[in-house]
Amino acid sequence: MQQKILISRAIFPEVIAKLAQHFDVTSNQDDVLWTPSQLIEQLACKQGIFTTGGERIDAALLAACPDLRICANMAVGYNNFDLDAMTAAGVLGTNAPDVLTETTADLGFSLLMATARRLAESEHYLRAGLWTRWRYDMFIGADIHGATLGILGMGRIGQGIARRGAHGFGMKVIYHNRTRLDAATEADCKACYVSKEELLRTADHLVLVLPYSASSHHAIGAAELARMKPSATLVNIARGGIVDDAALALALRNRTIAAAGLDVFEGEPKVHPDLLTVPNIVLTPHIGSASLPTRLAMAHLAADNLIGYLVNKKALTPLNPAPAALA
Ligand code: 8YV
């Protein structure tokens, strides 16, 4: 009997067609946002699910879906997966790393530049018809070239941002990470390892690129913001919840730091109302990986993981040990 899979959100038609060559596919091209119980209903008797990063795969879902064998995320982050529960249930998780590294690093650097040079704030001013004359101090921002770029979380995307800063803009790059990079990678990124304390204290522009977990929840809160320079900027392209958004809004209002650029939010797509009223901020709706070639590559990788595992018994980018029966 043909294996069945569920694609939980709208996705490129060519990727659905590719999956349909191997599976009985149920797709969701109307992009209905299913509740957890609707998702469980849709998943009944299916062996695989194509997720896009927002769908929670937890013990309750796994217990209700005993036929499930693989969850393939079209995202590099996988904090929507309870990997321990998946391993215990014999369900493989896969993510979509590498294919989005450079595109997401581009967005991180774009946000850094827009934040430092106050692009959103000055555009709003112009659109509001307030630009009537030049002034020497109008929208004075911070320099990017030659400044100190701090990176918290130095994985592949963090390294991409470091390279852009060091090689393209002559920035001094410092970073903090759970583990220090090897010397060759540090040299390639021209990056120096520092403590989190020193990173906060000395960065002119701080970019957050660390994965979300219980231990990174509110890694940047009121205390950390207070340690940053009043002239510093902060960019979060990682995950909502890494920054305490209420504390950030207050710091921006009080000018404890100069400005922020956010692509991710606590509880997104809701945005903390105070972030919408502070002027010194650039806001984008989680578009880090949103270029056409990259989103296509991410979708193909998730599809190839489903095909690889369910048809050929080998996933391309597994996150947890493959269940013994299939290994
Ligand atoms: C995804 C992302 O588009 O890959 C990730 O981890 O944050 C983005 O590239 C997003 O997760 C989709 O929900």
Model confidence at 210: pLDDT above 80: yes
Measured in Å, residue 52 CA sits from the centre of ligand 1 at 7
Model confidence at 197: pLDDT above 90: yes
**Per-residue DSSP letter, 43:** H
Predicted local confidence at residue 327, as pLDDT: 46
Question: Can you tell me the distance from the alpha carbon of 32 to that of 308, in angstroms, rounded to the nearest whole number?
Answer: 27
Predicted local confidence at residue 17, as pLDDT: 98
Nearest to 180 by CA among 202, 201, 158: 158
Active site residue 227: no
Predicted local confidence at residue 323, as pLDDT: 80
What average pLDDT score do residues 139-162 get? Answer: 98
Closest ligand 1 atom number to CA of residue 78: 6
Active site residue 286: yes
Predicted local confidence at residue 325, as pLDDT: 56
Instruction: Please pick, among 102, 201, 217, 268, the residue that the annotation labels catalytic.
Output: 268
Residues lining ligand 1, CB < 6 A?
52-54, 75-77, 100, 288-289
Active site residue 239: yes
Residue 184: band (very low, low, confident or very high) from pLDDT cuts 50, 70, 90: very high
Nearest to 74 by CA among 321, 313, 296, 320: 296
Closest ligand 1 atom number to CA of residue 54: 13
pLDDT tens digits along 39-98? 999 999 999 999 999 999 999 999 999 999 999 999 999 999 999 999 999 999 999 999
What average pLDDT score do residues 159-186 get? Answer: 98
Model confidence at 275: pLDDT above 90: yes
Nearest to 91 by CA among 68, 113, 64, 60: 68
Angle between helices 101-116 and 156-163 (to 10 degrees): 50
Domains of the chain by start residue, with CATH: 4-97+292-310 (3.40.50.720), 101-283 (3.40.50.720)
Task: Give nearest CA residue, ligand 1 atom 6.
Answer: 77
Show the tokens assigned to 282: 């650039």
Measured in Å, residue 53 CA sits from the centre of ligand 1 at 6
Predicted local confidence at residue 324, as pLDDT: 67
Predicted local confidence at residue 147, as pLDDT: 98
Measured in Å, residue 264 CA sits from the centre of ligand 1 at 10
What average pLDDT score do residues 184-192 get? Answer: 98
Task: Give nearest CA residue, ligand 1 atom 2.
Answer: 75
The best mutation among 102, 210, 263, 286 to test binding of ligand 1, ranked by most ligand atoms within 8 Å of the C-beta, falls on 286
Q: How open is the CA angle 87-88-91, to the nearest 5 degrees?
A: 45
The mean of the pLDDT values for the chain is 97
The best mutation among 76, 98, 157, 268 to test binding of ligand 1, ranked by most ligand atoms within 8 Å of the C-beta, falls on 76
What average pLDDT score do residues 320-327 get? Answer: 71
Measured in Å, residue 104 CA sits from the centre of ligand 1 at 9
If residue 15 lies in a helix (H) or strand (E), which one and from where to where?
Answer: helix 13-20
Show the tokens assigned to 317: 């980018």
Measured in Å, residue 77 CA sits from the centre of ligand 1 at 6
pLDDT tens digits along 2-53? 999 999 999 999 999 999 999 999 999 999 999 999 999 999 999 999 999 9
